[in-house]
Amino acid sequence: MKALKRALKALLITVLAYLVQVCVMKYLAFQGIMGSVVFAALAIIIVSCGKKYAFCASCLIGMMMESMLSNVPALYVIAYPVITMLCAQYFADMSDRQLERRRMMAESRKVRISEGRGKEHWWHRFMMRYRETDLPPIVRIPACAGLMDVLLNIVLAAYMYLIGEDIGWIHLVRLAASALYTMALSLVLMVPVRYVLGMYRRRRAQEGGELL
């Protein structure tokens, strides 16, 4: 029942994100650049709910976009699930087995460092292969949303280039601005959406020694 409730919440968030994207974001365009609420919601679902939820949500959004706003045949319905799953591979929570493996690798690396056979750099803490745990969600969600937006914009820019348009600096600037806008949106939406999904109640219960 809880899983069903959670799935319904994720579905509601997905549909709302789509509706906001197609109905509201035109009023919130900044210098003609619109952020992607859809990618922000997908990033939150990737980090909070996992890959299966993210796949379902991306398929739904892709189908809705393809049915209602189709410019290029089959572009959205392919691009959204593919981009979402690509980013989910990197930004979703690691499994317990993966976490344990990372922990042991980190311990062995510490041993090697103590024996003088390696060196730890500051950037290692931001790279997944050197980390024992996942990055905090406040980092992963905007990064995931921005990366997804950049990937989709790259696909669209490639399409524009293939149909004969010249790709210049203005496209890159717009791409960067769109990604930044999407990251900001994901930061703003992260707290209420994760609250609806029950993430903060779960953490509180866990810290209190009791699960809901």
Provide the binding-site residues for other proteins, judged by CB under 8 A.
Answer: 2-3, 15, 19, 22-24, 27, 47-50, 52, 55-56, 59-60, 62-64, 66-68, 73-74, 77-78, 81, 93-97, 99-101, 103-104, 107-108, 125, 132-137, 199, 202-203, 206, 209, 211
Distance CA 178, CA 128 (A): 26
Q: Look-up: residue for tokens 């968030």?
A: 13
**What is the smallest separation between the CB atom of 196 and other proteins, expressed in angstroms?**
14
Please, which residue, 154 or 204, has the CB nearer to other proteins? 204
Distance CA 151, CA 143 (A): 12
Distance CA 57, CA 87 (A): 14
Please, which residue, 89 or 108, has the CB nearer to other proteins? 108
**What is the smallest separation between the CB atom of 93 and other proteins, expressed in angstroms?**
5
Please, which residue, 60 or 143, has the CB nearer to other proteins? 60
**What is the smallest separation between the CB atom of 97 and other proteins, expressed in angstroms?**
5
Please, which residue, 147 or 199, has the CB nearer to other proteins? 199
Distance CA 72, CA 159 (A): 9
Distance CA 212, CA 43 (A): 25
On whether the CB atoms of residues 147 and 116 are closer than 8 A, the answer is no
